[in-house]
Amino acid sequence: MEPACRKDKPKLNSTPTRGDRAKQKSAQQELKQRQRAEIYALNKVMTELEQQQFEAFCKQMQSQGD
């Protein structure tokens, strides 16, 4: 016998479905790829800047030595 005060409530399915998980994984991979590309681009810019600064430093040291 069930108690009279008990009401059946619809259960909320909080578990992500297979499609949701696939979408989330895909979005995560895209984010990772974008961040990786940004890091490589930033690294390239910083390397070029460092090279320019090093060349300017070398020229300055040469002119002081002459």
Find all residues with CB under 8 Å of 16, minimum gap 6, and list them: 24
- CA distances (Å), 42 to each of 16, 30, 34, in order? 36, 18, 12
Question: How is the chain split into domains, by residue range?
Answer: 28-65
Average pLDDT, the chain: 87
State residue 18's pLDDT score. 84
- pLDDT (mean) for 39-60: 98
Is the pLDDT confidence value at 12 over 70? no
pLDDT value at residue 44: 98
Structure tokens, 29: 């991979």
0.75 exceeded by the pTM? no
Distance CA 55, CA 63 (A): 12
